[in-house]
A = this chain, B = another copy of it.
Amino acid sequence: MADCRKSVPKVVAQAAKAEGIRPEKLARSIASGRAVLPFNEIHSPKPLAIGEGTRVKVNVNIGTSADYVDLKEELGKARAAVKYGADAIMDLSTGGDIGKIRRAILKEVRVPVGTVPIYQAGMEKARRSAVVDMTEDDIFNAIVAHAKDGVDFVTVHCGVTRESVDALKRSKRITDVVSRGGAFLVAWILRNGEENPLYSNYDYLLEIAKEYDLTLSLGDGMRPGCIADATDEPQVQELITLGECVQRARKAGVQAMVEGPGHVPLHQIVANVQLEKTICDEAPFYVLGPLVTDIAPGYDHITGAIGGALAALAGADFLCYVTPAEHLCLPSIDDVRDGTIASVIAAHAADVARGIGADRDMDMARARKALDWEGQFRSAIDPDTARARHERRGSSDGDVCSMCGDLCAIKMVSDALGGGKKPASRPRKR
């Protein structure tokens, strides 16, 4: 939002309206850095606020890999994500014509789009020599190129510093580094013996962000890759650096949020959210999962939904989805749908607990009580799947389902209570 005088009030008002909150309140949260509104005028997405006072948001990662490049499939993933409730999309493409794919995705969706520019810088260098041969210019030029295409937010791993690499070397980590961008920079630092340009030239990065309306998503290159590595020295060391980056961004008038883990056991999730909120002074917290166990490949959308719900309940603002393909392969369109829905469930469950959005649950409850199947499908996150399942096994009696048939509890009790109870409705409650 380069031109604050002109565009901010309007997009903030639109974002506030979508949340059902007062624009002034949201404007204050954004001004203080406790909320962000990723909005690049070149893309001009539907205004979306992330952070204090707003509902929990869901991001969906898509993108090609070196082995699978199919633009049509990626656009299909983008559409599926938006259809099932994604609030934002990140294009993590590393295969094919990365710029062309990014521009096609930006054209396809009206939700904010994020990228990780260092992927392109590293990948294009890797095609000719090696990732570690990237220059500072390659990195910053990639960021500018993404900004000029209209990207709304970028992940920048500014906290992967020589200090955190030293912490990594000292650590007893099992999986070391599992962040791809983090790995690029760890390898780069070790090879070149120099500081991470995203940190040593952070002021220059802030200038670019300011000039091109880029919201920074401060990446956690040191995020744990297994639950045993969670909340350890490299992770917390990096978080402290990210807290410093948040303050410098705020001083420069640049919007910043902070990325978080990763693999975190259930009992450490609340602590992780609280740590970020204190160290990063309430900057919006954008978590990947967290995955609460390592042993469920094929079902990591579920482990991520468990962790995401608890993280959001504790104050996380933005959930990056995880698909059933995590740790195994590049996701398909179906995987994107399943991952999106799992994260939307987690975000909504936390919202309801925080007092937001339970109207839809009330509508569903009333439709269930009335045995109104169309009403139930209307209130469902995925009406088509709900309908297909219900119709897969029809019941001999039209108004009940094949689970209980005529022994439907709701039907029996409605009949038994008869007129003895007032109609099922009441004011909305938490």
A contacts, CB < 8 Å to B? 65-68, 94-95, 119, 122-123, 126, 131-132, 168-169, 172-180, 182-184, 186-187, 190-191, 225-229, 265-268, 292-299, 301-303, 305-306, 309-310, 313, 324-325, 327-330, 341-342, 345-346, 348-350, 352-354, 358, 360-362, 364-366, 368-369, 376, 379-382, 385-386, 389-390, 392-396, 401-410, 412-417, 420-422, 424-426, 429-430
Contact = CB atoms under 8 A, between A and B. Distances in A.
Given A175-B368, A182-B409, A302-B345, A389 B292 contact: no
Contacts of A421: 168-169, 176
A219 B282 CA distance: 44
A300 to B, nearest CB: 9
Contact of A407 (B180, B190, B352, B362): B180
Interface of A is mostly: helix
A329 B393 contact: yes
B306 A345 contact: yes
A173 B424 contact: yes
A233 to B, nearest CB: 13
A361 B295 contact: yes
Contacts of A422: 172
Nearest to A170: B421
A266 B270 CA distance: 14
Nearest to A422: B172
A186 B365 CA distance: 20
A328 B376 CA distance: 10
8 contacts: A68-B402, A175-B368, A175-B410, A183-B407, A267-B353, A294-B368, A299-B345, A303-B349
Contacts of A187: 412-413, 415-416
Contacts of A122: 407
A403 B330 contact: yes
A265 B416 contact: no
